[in-house]
Amino acid sequence: MLILSPHVKQAPRLIGALCVLSVLAGQAGGADGTKDDPALPIYPRTAQEQARINAVTAPTVDFTTPEPFEANQGGAGTVADTGDDTVFSLPPTTLPLNDRLDFELGHALFAKLWVSSPSSTKASDGLGPLFNARSCMRCHVKDGRGHPPEHPDDSRVSMFLRLSVPAPQTAALTEIEAYLADLDGPNATPRTRPAPGYGGQLQDFAITGHAAEGRMEIAYTEIPVTLADGEVVMLRRPNYTISNPGYGALPKDLQISPRVATPMIGLGLLEAIPAADLLAHADPEDENGDGISGRPNLVWSEREGAPMLGRFGWKAGEPRVEHQSAAAFHGDIGISTPLFPTTFGDCTVEQVACRTAPDGAGDVRGDEIDQSGLDLVTFYARNLAVPARRDVDDPEVLRGKEMFYTSGCASCHVPKFVTHRLEGATSTPQSFQLIWPYSDLLLHDMGPDLADNRPEGRATGREWRTPPLWGIGLTAQVSGATTYLHDGRARSLLEAVLWHGGEAQAARDAVTVMSKSDRAALIRFLESL
C-alpha cells in the first residue's frame, strides 16, 4: 500500500491517485504514513528520527572530504571487495548466524538447473516447455549484470526480448488496467497485450519435442559524438530482429523491448526504503521547473491483490523481491510458483502443445517450486550484500563527485536514503540503514534514443526507472564485460552517459562540455561506486 507522509509535497493528481491506492490495498497505515508494505514489520519513525534522517540524507555541499559512512554503500552490512568475481554473491556482514543456512539454501535454488518433465529427479523437473534459461544464475551470472551477445556464437542467455502488441482501443480493460488508465485521464498510454503465438517475451530455448520461439539478432550502427574538447566517442545504435520464428508469422505491430539481467545486490535494502521517501522525489508536473519529472510506476501485486509502488526491473514493473523472483521463474524458466501457478510459463493459447505438455507439479509437491522454496530464493535475493566503495578520499574521485552533483546527475540518481526500522532478527541487515544506491527508483523520460516504444504499467515507451549505481564500478570484475544501459549498448560509462536524453539531456550536455580532466574525474567517481 502507499500512503504519503505529511511532509511529502506532491502534485494534487499524484496525491489523489496514491490515496486511492491505499484504499484499494485495504491496509491501515501508520500515523507517519510510512507503513507502505504489509509484509514489512515496520516500527513507525518518531519525529526526532525523521529530523535526523532529513539531515543525514540532505545533499552534500562539501566535496573536499568524504561524507560520514560514505564507503559503506550498503549500510552496516556492507562487505569488503574480495578482488574477484564473487563480490556480488556474499551475505551482509550483519546477517545473523542462524540465517546463514537459509541464505546458502536459497543460493543453491538460485543456481539449480531445472530439467524437463517427466524426470526421475522429481524435485527438479518442470522446466519450460519454452524458456530463456535453466536457472536464475544462468542470467544473473555471479549475481551480476547481463550483457548482449558480442558475436554470432556468443551466449544470449543473460538478455532477452520483451514482446507485446498494442491493445485494441475497443478491448475490455481488466480492473487494474482501468484503474491505472484513470490515473492519467482519457489520454492514457494504450494498454498492451502479449504477442499472439509468442506471449510476453521471446523464449529462445525449448525442451525436446518443442520448437524455440526464435532467435534474437542484433545489428549495430556506429554513431560518432564529438565532445567540446574535440574528443570523438563512438556510440553504437542497436537494431533488433527475430530470426527463425517458431510459431507463425510475427505480428506486424509487434513491440520489442530488449532487457539485460540486472545486478542482484542490495535488493532487500531497496525494498525497505519507505515509499514516502521515494515519492518525495516525484514531480510529475515538473512544478519546480528543473526539467526533472520523476513518476512512480504503480503495478499490481499478486501477493497483496492490490496496486503497489513498482521498485524493481528496468521500468519498475515489479513491486517486491518475492514478486520479481516468482515472475522470473514463470517467464524465464517456465516454473510455477504459488504467485504464478500456471505450469506452462509464458505459453500462449495458440501454443497448444506447450500448454498440454507434462509438468512438474503434483499432489505432494504442489507447485513446481513451492512457497518454502520461493521463500528461500527470495531470502537469498533480498540479502545479497553491497560492496564497499573504493578510493572515497582520492582527490580525483572527490572532484568527480562534485561533477556528478553540479552536472545534475544526482537529481535522478539520488545518492542516499535511510531504510525503515524493521522488527525481527531476520530483518537486521535491512533495518534502519543509511544506504547509498544512487537512484530514486522512479520513472524518467530518457528521450527518443533510448526509447523502446513499449509501455509497461504506467511507464511510457520513453520512460525507464533510474537504475541504482552502487557496484557499477565492479562490473568488469564480476561479469567480465563492461556493457551498460537496459540493452547493454554502451561499452563504457562515458558511452552510457552520452546516450542520456529527455529529462537527462541537460546533465548529458554538461558532461560533453567538461574539460577532459573533469570528465575523467567523473568517470573515476562512478568507478568507485
What pTM did the predictor assign?
0.91
Q: How high is the pLDDT of residue 468?
A: 98
Q: Is the CB of residue 114 less than 8 Å from the CB of residue 333? A: yes
> Phi/psi at 398 (nearest 5 deg)?
-65, -35
Q: How high is the pLDDT of residue 187?
A: 54
Q: Is the CB of residue 2 less than 8 Å from the CB of residue 297? A: no
Best CA proximity match to 496, nearest among 67, 145, 158: 145
- 534522517: which residue's cell? 53
Q: How high is the pLDDT of residue 305?
A: 84
Q: How high is the pLDDT of residue 2?
A: 31
Q: How high is the pLDDT of residue 265?
A: 98
Q: How high is the pLDDT of residue 170?
A: 66
Q: How high is the pLDDT of residue 155?
A: 83
Question: How far, in Å, CA of 96 to CA of 91, rounded?
Answer: 10
Q: How high is the pLDDT of residue 380?
A: 98
Give the containing element (helix H, strand E) for 255.
Answer: strand 255-260
**How many Cα atoms occupy the beta-carbon half-sphere of 458 within 13 Å?**
29
pLDDT means per 10 residues, the chain with 529 residues, are 33 41 36 49 87 96 97 98 97 95 97 91 88 96 94 88 87 65 54 92 96 97 97 97 96 96 98 95 92 91 88 96 97 96 95 95 84 97 98 98 98 97 79 97 97 91 97 96 96 98 97 98 98
**How many Cα atoms occupy the beta-carbon half-sphere of 267 within 13 Å?**
30
Q: How high is the pLDDT of residue 343?
A: 94
Q: How high is the pLDDT of residue 32?
A: 30
Q: How high is the pLDDT of residue 44?
A: 84
